Amino acid sequence: MARAKRSSPPAPAEPAAAQTVPETGGTLTVDLAAIESNWRALARRLLAADCAAVVKADAYGLGLKPVVARLAQAGCKTFFVADLAEARAVRSRARDVTIYVLDGFTPQWGDGLIDIDARPVINSTTELAEWDAFVSARAWQGGAALHVDTGMHRLGITPEEAAALAPRAQTENHGIAMLMSHLACAETPDHPLNAKQIALFRELHLLYPGIPASLANSSGIFLGNSAHFDLARPGAALYGVNPTPRQANPMQSVVELTGRILQLRSVERDDTVGYAATWTAKRPSRIAVAALGYADGLMRGGSGTDDRPGGAAIVAGKRCPIVGRISMDLVCIDVTELPDGAVHRGDSAVLIGGEIPIDEVAAAAGTIGYEVLTRLGARCHLVYRGA
């Protein structure tokens, strides 16, 4: 009788929990459903204009590809990026959308733009001449946006140049897919430059009949119908930054940044914490040290010192101040006010999210929410909620 073959015992399965344990100190959670909700809320404010999405800088640091996929599925038809590489990433996730490249045209990008059917934003008459020569040589009918500087004084052709080019819009195959400009002070609704830019852009648009126009950014949407034209281009508001800084934020929070608490330690009165001894305990204190630092996007400007308060964290459900300098990998949090036993090694501290909105974190660091967002996630464990 033949002996049955003996099989090797199966390797033990890795526990499910072990498969999902972050291997980093910090975790960045991005709520894709909130991004979609913010886009829909902005679109509802546009009575006669379409709503695009600005996804440059890797969707403000939150992941261009998943953000584009979610917004395209929601119905967004137009995306704005900074460069050709970002345009390729958009096209890989959204086949039937229009893509505008804000950094404009360079002959070295030409074939790549054709390859993915993306449109450059023409920012000077030199670029326009190069673009015209390129599309003529390639016999390509791809369009471009014409960017007019109405007061930002950064990129764009002058109003005089725009007026001189206007007869081109009456010719066949003129190649101008959109006329656009950029508001400089939309976050300040009563700034006189807003009305000046809107009026000038309206006058120029009249010279380009039949060509769609775009002026409003996130905050520009809240200036009213006069700023909306045919297409609005929200960016930061999609990701939870307040487009109306003087009022309550109408957008949903999108990100949560948490750090694992590595150690709880006691310091005596007059002891100092962190580099350069910039914070001194004014009483016997308990300090939680969390595994997050400026390498994770937690900006050093949010440090708490003897001279000024810094940012805050939510620990065990309570707001606690950041003390001492935020270093590359660590942040110290004063948890003295928490009851004994309320916090333990291995718990999480919330540095952004919930009761600590992105704009508060930015203000504590002396900057804006845009900069904070684009610095997040380089090293953190990344989680997409609602994917």
One domain for residues 235 and 308: no
One domain for residues 319 and 360: yes
Q: pTM, whole model, 2 decimals? A: 0.92
One domain for residues 172 and 89: yes
Write b or e for each residue in 196-233: b if 16 or more Cβ atoms lie within 10 A of its Cβ, otherwise e. ebbebbeebbebbeebbbbbbbbbbbbbeeebbbbbbb
One domain for residues 72 and 186: yes
Beta bridge pairs of residue 315: 318, 349
The torsion angles phi and psi of 148, rounded to 5 degrees, stand at -110, 130
Quote the CA–CA distance of 164 and 159 in Å, as a whole number. Answer: 9
Residue ranges making up the domain that contains 159 = 52-239
One domain for residues 74 and 197: yes
pLDDT grade for 20, boundaries at 50, 70 and 90: low
Kindly state the average pLDDT of the residues 189-205: 97
Share of the chain above pLDDT 70, in %: 95
One domain for residues 316 and 235: no
Quote the CA–CA distance of 100 and 82 in Å, as a whole number. Answer: 8
pLDDT tens digit sequence for 80-100:
999 999 999 999 999 999 999
One domain for residues 288 and 225: no
Residues labelled as active-site residues? 56, 275
Amino acid identity, residue 282?
K
What's the CATH number where 56 sits? 3.20.20.10
Kindly state the average pLDDT of the residues 284-308: 96
Residue 9 predicted with pLDDT over 90: no
Does residue 305 contact residue 252 with C-beta atoms inside 8 Å?
no
Radius of gyration of the chain (CA): 26
Residue at 296 is within a domain: yes
Residue at 91 is within a domain: yes
The domain boundary residue, chosen from 205, 239, 273: 239
The count of structural domains within the chain is 2
Write b or e for each residue in 346-359: b if 16 or more Cβ atoms lie within 10 A of its Cβ, otherwise e. ebbbbbbbeebbbb
One domain for residues 225 and 108: yes
Quote the CA–CA distance of 349 and 75 in Å, as a whole number. Answer: 36
Q: Which residues contact 378 (CB under 8 A, 6 or more apart)?
A: 295, 296, 297
Quote the CA–CA distance of 321 and 333 in Å, as a whole number. Answer: 6
Q: What is the DSSP letter of 249?
A: -
Residue at 35 is within a domain: no
What's the CATH number where 350 sits? 2.40.37.10
Residue at 126 is within a domain: yes
Residue at 144 is within a domain: yes
Residue at 131 is within a domain: yes
One domain for residues 84 and 230: yes
Beta bridge pairs of residue 304: 324
One domain for residues 232 and 276: no
pLDDT tens digit sequence for 172-192:
889 999 999 999 999 999 999
- Residue 140: the pLDDT is 87
Alpha-carbon separation of residue 307 from 8, 16, 304, 324, 347 (angstroms):
67, 47, 8, 11, 29
Beta bridge pairs of residue 101: 81, 120
Quote the CA–CA distance of 96 and 49 in Å, as a whole number. Answer: 19
Quote the CA–CA distance of 264 and 242 in Å, as a whole number. Answer: 35
Mean pLDDT, the chain, rounded, equals: 93
Q: Which residues contact 290 (CB under 8 A, 6 or more apart)?
A: 25, 259, 260, 261, 262, 313, 330, 331, 332, 333, 349, 351
Is pLDDT larger for residue 168 or for residue 1? Answer: 168
Strands, E, within the chain: which ranges? Answer: 26-31, 50-51, 53-54, 78-81, 98-101, 119-122, 144-147, 176-180, 213-214, 231-232, 255-267, 272-273, 279-280, 285-290, 312-315, 318-323, 331-334, 348-352, 381-385
Residue at 285 is within a domain: yes
Quote the CA–CA distance of 44 and 36 in Å, as a whole number. Answer: 12
One domain for residues 264 and 314: yes
The domain boundary residue, chosen from 196, 212, 239: 239
Residue 117 predicted with pLDDT over 80: yes
The two structure tokens encoding residue 82: 């900074």
pLDDT tens digit sequence for 234-282:
999 999 999 999 899 999 999 999 999 999 999 999 999 999 999 999 9
Q: Where are the alpha helices (DSSP H) in 94-124?
A: 110-116
Quote the CA–CA distance of 93 and 89 in Å, as a whole number. Answer: 7
pLDDT grade for 7, boundaries at 50, 70 and 90: very low
One domain for residues 232 and 263: no
Residue at 44 is within a domain: no
